[in-house]
Every structure is written in C-alpha cells, then in structure tokens.
Amino acid sequence: MFVQEINKHAVLPPIIGRSDKEFLESIQRYIITEMERVGCNEEGPADEYYIIYRNVFDKVIEYVTAYKSVLTSIKKEYDAIIETMKEGQRTAFCLHGKLKALAAEPTALVYHRKRTIQLVAKMNVIENDSSKIQLQIDKMKQLRAEYDTKEVKYHTFSKDPSKPIPVTIGDQGIVEELLEDDPGKAKEAEILLGYIERFNELMSLGEYEKAACFAARSPRRILQNIGTVNKFKAVGKIRGKPFPLLLFFEAIFSTSHACRRPIDAELTLEGIKCGLSEKRLDLVINWVTQERLTFSEEVGDVICDYGEQDTYNKAKCLALAQMIYSECGLHKKALLCLCKQGQIHGAMEYIQQFKDFTYDDLMQLIKLCPHTELIQCLTREWNGKPPSLSFGLAILQLFSIGMKTVGIKLLQEISKGGKGIIEHLMINDPFCAFENWQEVANICLQNGFDKLSRDITSVLRSQAGVTEISEEDNTVNLMEHVFW
C-alpha cells in the first residue's frame, strides 16, 4: 500500500540530457531571433509564424531520429492543410475582385443610357436633314420627268465642259466606273455627283455638322474616305463650336452598325486618333465596343500610347487595347496588356488557351512586365501542368538585364520556403543546367542569401551521379536523370 502511494504521488520529472538541453536552448534562441528579424508580434503576421515554426519542426525531426518518420508524416499533413487554407484565401480574393467588377456594372449602364439619349437626339437631327435632302431629290426627279422612257433607256451621260465637277475627295473612280460599265447607270452617277456637290456646298457655307451627317448617309459611301477627312482637317478648330473632324467621325461611326460592311482600317485609325486627341476616351470606348469598325495593330498601339500618357485611364486603355489585339490575333500584345493590368490569373489562362507561346516569348514577357507574381506563376506548376519557365533561368535573366530589384524579391520569396521548396523547384526544372544553378547559388551568396546558396549547393551535390563536371561540358543537365 505504501509503495503504491509513492508511485502515485511522488513521480520524479524526467531528466534531460545535456545534448537535449543544448538543442532546446538553441531552438528557443532561433525562434526569438527569427521573430525579431522579421518583426513578428503577438498579433501576426501568421505567414511569418508559420514559416519560423515549420523550420523549427524540421530541426526537431532531424534531431529526434527515432520518431522521424512519424513526425514527418504529421508535418506533411499540417502543410497540406495550411496550403489548402491559403488556396481558399486566394480563391476568395479572386471572387472578391469579380464581385467588385459586377458592382460597377450599374454605373456602366447609366453611361450607356446617357449615350442612348445623345444618339436619339442626333438621329432626330439626321432625320430632319434627311427630310430636306429628300425634298431636293424629289425636285430633281421632277426636272428629269420631261425625259420619256425611251430617252432615259438610251441616255448617255455627258459632262458640261463649262462647269467643273467636284470629285476632289477621291471617288472620281466610282462615278467613272458606273459610266463605263453600263451607260444605263448614268442616272445613278448623276445622283452621286449631286451628293458631292451638295456636300461641298454645305462645307462652303460652314454647315459642318450637316455636312458630316450628309457624308455618313452618302450612297456607296462615296463621301467616306481620306479625302473627306482632309477636307474637315483643313477647317481646323472653331472657337465655341464642336470640332468639325470629330463631328464627321461621330456621324460615320454611329451609322456603321447599320451598314453591311464595317468602316475600313484607315478611317478607323484616323477616327480613334481624332477622338483621343480631343480627350474623348468615352467616345472611343463606345466606338470600339459597339460599332462596326476594322481593327488593326496600329489602333491598339495608339490606345496603349494614350494610356501611358493618361495614367488615370491607363487600365481602361489597356483593356480596350487587349480586346483589339485579341481580335487581330496579336496574342503576345494581348497577353502583355493583361499582365500590365495585374490580371495574372487571367494571363495564365490566356497562355493555356493559346498554346503557341514559345519559351522565348515568355522570357520576353517577364522582361517587359517584371511582375513577381507573374514570374512565380510561370515558374511553378499551373493546373497540374509543368512550369512554363525555369526559375533559375528567370533569375539569371533578371540580373543580366539590370532588373536586380525584381530578382532579389523573388529570392526573398523563395528563401522563406526552406530547402524543400528549392529542391522541388530544381528537380522539376528541365531547362536549367548544373552550371546555371551554380551561377544562381553564386548570385544568392553575393546578395546576402547565404542559406539559400547553401541549400542550392546541397541539392546539387545530393543528386544521383553528380560528382565533378568540367566547364567544357555544356551538355550535362542536372535533371537528366528525371527523363531516363
């Protein structure tokens, strides 16, 4: 009875050996030092706590060899759970962004309604002008009523040498073609010439808005050409009145959706330039998204250049240019616009959708848009597919072209993951050779990432069959054994 009571109440604490005590003290010092270095406090950040204690867990596993397999399994389960939670946070962030975009739709609807009211008002003006033109056409018909059917059938159009005919705006060929192909169409040629004369008359009277609407409704688009553009350009700007050239483009673009063929590329480019020169991005957005135009690389470039000058509207310009580039099949420029907007996940989906991007294309992309998140996505697995770029070669590229700051940011991110992450990157990288990884290790050492440099060197030495490789042997690849 006495012995049982002693065993129950007088159990001695375990005796800790000297080596265990020293190990525990070193672990405590490591935790305190790392927390002070990264600025952790009791309230976070959680990621820094996780990285520090994950490294501590690794040290404990290495030290306690008897329980290494069990502790390693436990750590893997915790890592998997934490990664799942992080993925959930990233998904929630993306959904939040989409929700914000949906919330902005009512504002766009208000602008569209306002634009509808403006167009209705312009249509009323056009209809009034059309009524006047119709009266003139009826008057011309009455004048020609004196010709009988037989005379009209064999009528041959003749020019009055005493009166010059204005076809100075570039469509003389259309009228002459009608006369040469079928003399019976001479009447139509006269009507076209009448339109040209009426247009010139409106321009000479300073009725520029009416002239613009008249040109937009001209048959066979005889007045929709660069010659007409030059006539409006020659007028210039008039104080207190709308810019005549802009009136012309508003008229022809607003009626383009009713035509069988879109406005040609040359006029489209001139119109976009005119709208942007007047700082009417709202008009340009409406033209590009709603009307029937002919897009080209030059149109996308002009909008991109405008966005670089007008930083407030840069995101809108990039989105507009991206749509134009995509429609023209210029996928590299469309992808660059996505990246410059910060839509990294959208860019990665675009790369997966159009599988004609080469390794050099993607290296050029990170040179033009050195976004750390973009480089991380390109150098890691995406939707179960292998990395598109080599992390090691990307680091070397950034340092070689003077983008050291971006390269250091990437090294800082990768150094937080420990040896396991860098080993995973290296093993799954079929592009980066032994010498390249050694060069990366040297760069890490030169920029204060001593541990990362040692980790890379350790992985290099631990690979099967790696002994010493001469500098002359450029064909040896560190990951060769993965494919054999």
Domains of the chain, residue spans: 38-93, 115-254, 390-484
- pLDDT for 195 equals 80
For 179, the token pair is 């006369």
Per the structure block, which two tokens stand in for 20? 């265990």
Report mean pLDDT in 10-residue bins for the chain, 484 residues. Answer: 49 68 80 75 63 79 75 78 79 76 68 84 87 81 56 37 43 46 60 83 90 86 88 89 92 78 89 93 90 89 93 92 92 92 90 84 87 85 81 83 82 76 78 82 85 83 56 45 37
What is the rounded CA–CA span in Å between residue 94 and residue 311? 24
Q: What is the pLDDT of residue 478?
A: 44
Looking at residue 140, what is its pLDDT? 74
The closest alpha carbon to 322, from 295, 291, 282, 287, belongs to: 295
Q: What pLDDT is attached to residue 27? A: 79
CA 1 from chain centre, in angstroms, equals 83
CB 225 within 8 A of CB 252: no
Cα 304 to Cα 320: distance, rounded to the nearest angstrom: 9
Q: How far is CA 55 from the centre of its chain?
A: 39
* Per-residue pLDDT at 468: 46
pTM score, whole prediction = 0.56
Q: What is the pLDDT of residue 112?
A: 79
pLDDT at 46: 62
Contacts of 281-290 spanning 24+ positions with Cβ under 8 A: 281/306, 281/310, 281/313, 281/316, 281/317, 282/111, 283/246, 283/250, 284/320, 285/316, 285/320, 286/115, 287/253, 288/320, 288/323, 288/324, 289/323, 290/257
* Distant-in-sequence, close-in-space partners of 419: CB < 8 Å, separation ≥ 6: 455, 458, 459
Tokens of residue 289, six digits: 């998204």
Helix, strand, coil percentages in the chain from 3-state DSSP, rounded to 5:
75, 0, 25
